[in-house]
Amino acid sequence: MRIAQLLKSTDYGTKVTVKGWVRTKRGNKNVAFLALNDGSCVANIQIVADLAKISEEELKPVTTGACVAVEGTLVESLGAGQGVEVQAETIEVYGTADPATYPLQKKGHSLEFLREIAYLRPRTNTFGAILRIRHAMAYAIHKFFNDKGFYYLHTPLITASDCEGAGEMFQVTTLDLDNMPRTEEGAIDFAQDFFGKPCSLTVSGQLEGELGALSMGQIYTFGPTFRAEHSNTPRHLAEFWMIEPEVAFFDLKDNMDMAEEFLKYLIRYALENCREDLEFMNKMWDNELLDRLNFVLENDFVRLDYTEGIEILKASGKKFEFPCEWGSDLQSEHERYLVEEHFKKPVILINYPKDIKAFYMKQNEDGKTVRAMDVLFPKIGEIIGGSEREADYGKLSARIKELGIPEKDMWWYLDTRRWGSAPHSGFGLGFERLLLFVTGMSNIRDVIPFPRTLKNAEF
Ligand code: 4AD
Ligand code: MG
């Protein structure tokens, strides 16, 4: 039985077997107390070993970090704050953990240190809680869309097109880097590469997601995406997970409504289903976490034009590190000013200048802006990016030409606007940005089991 279940049991007197990792051992010459954890919850179960039954010699290898199986009797605990404990009859040691070398000895290691031993950090309370919340959020995402009749579409990870056009793609090749085949002109001959052309890891499943929406009506993707971004910040990963719904017949307003409903659903799900873990995170890392989660649930998101946002920023009198003029992309400091200081609520910023957004966004009549939307959250900045898509063949192909995007990579995407085009919209939620918000952590490296960032692909 898992410890989470056992701790709720009242079947006193029954024989039980528990297996897990020893967190601490203390005691005296008559009795030893082990705190055992198996990853199913924050709480440990207490194992009481009577030294008359289990010898000191047997208990010697049972140290912090060791893995053991305990057979014994479930009894009501007299200690404060714990319902049950196990009176051990036998303890089998599966694996010892030499106290001289096992790194997780004391409580309260720094997050920086734990990042260096990311392969062991799920054995700590903090990372146990984060990973359980991560699991619950992944499940809730599928549930949200399934209950609404969306289809989970698997879009490719290897692609020949750059969806965001930001040139941040990781190349995929089987060519011999020390001996590249060349064309007669001296260029690399990708015809000889595995796919017969240059390919990369995807930055987004959106383009193929649109094909799904324009056939099945409403789809979502949920998979890893890759960006060779050189920004080494607490909010950027080179490999992150993204959720991308795409819906036929949705305009920008429908898209905003869906984004707001989706985020609130996920936060409510966490509050209802991850209570213990959230309370632990609130106590240990961020005393305002629960308040912030409830606050987002209780308030409507502000919906605001980019142009108005710029005016507010300019009128703020605040000294920003980066300038903000109409036409420039907002930096995290600007986004957080709007959310945390000006409105004190999540903000959906819409109608951005077309030159700072991707080619596929629907062009507004003013000729200057596109129907983009970014959802901005307290402590995070941008959590969602999305838009209504350009459904008009002429406008889309003109924009593709204007930006110099090779049409040979995009012909299939353009074809959807040739045959049976329809208004449609979608967005991308960065899964780890969501988890930053829900767990209260402040570095994105701490909400994914094995982070990949600039100069770091350990484990
Ligand atoms: O705003 P982005 O670049 O939008 C897209 O990729 C669209 N194709 C989505 C769509 O409309 N279907 O990325 C979407 C979200 C961001 O808002 C952010 O939450 C997250 O993905 N994100 C990252 N998360 C972690 N590390 C990075 N390097 C990220 N880049 C984007
Ligand atoms: Mg974006």
Tell me the average confidence (pLDDT) per consecutive run of 10 residues in the chain, 459 residues long.
95 97 95 97 96 95 98 89 90 97 88 96 97 98 98 97 89 96 96 96 97 98 96 94 98 98 98 98 98 96 98 94 93 94 97 97 97 97 98 97 90 96 98 98 98 96
What is the pLDDT at residue 146? 98
- Determine the atom of ligand 1 nearest the C-alpha atom of 166: 3
CA of 384 to the centre of ligand 2 (A): 7
What is the pLDDT at residue 167? 81
The H or E element that residue 310 is part of is helix 306-315
Query: Residues 343, 301: contact at Cβ < 8 Å?
Result: no
Question: Can you read off the two tokens belonging to residue 450?
Answer: 């094995």
Residue nearest to atom 9 of ligand 1 (CA): 428
What is the pLDDT at residue 106? 73
Residues with a CB atom less than 6 Å from ligand 1 = 163-164, 204, 206, 227, 229, 236-237, 240, 242, 244, 382-387, 426-428, 430, 432-433
- Determine the atom of ligand 1 nearest the C-alpha atom of 231: 28
Q: What is the pLDDT of residues 273-332, one digit of tens each?
A: 999 999 999 999 999 999 999 999 999 999 999 999 999 999 999 999 998 999 999 999
Residue nearest to atom 23 of ligand 1 (CA): 430
The 10 Å CB-count burial string (b at 16+, else e) for 266-288 is: bbebbeeebeebbebbbeebbee
Closest CA to 75 of 15, 25, 33, 32: 15
Residue nearest to atom 21 of ligand 1 (CA): 430
Please report, for residues 35, 74, 273, the alpha-carbon distance to residue 139 in angstroms, rounded to integers and kept in the order given. 30, 32, 11
CA of 173 to the centre of ligand 1 (A): 25
CA of 225 to the centre of ligand 1 (A): 9
What is the pLDDT at residue 422? 98
- Determine the atom of ligand 1 nearest the C-alpha atom of 206: 12
38 residue type, one letter:
D
Query: Residues 105, 66: contact at Cβ < 8 Å?
Result: no
| Proximal ligand: closest to the CA of 205 | 1
How far is residue 383's CA from residue 395's CA, in Å, rounded to a whole number? Answer: 29
| Proximal ligand: closest to the CA of 375 | 1
Work out the number of other CB atoms within 10 angstroms of the CB of residue 262.
Answer: 23
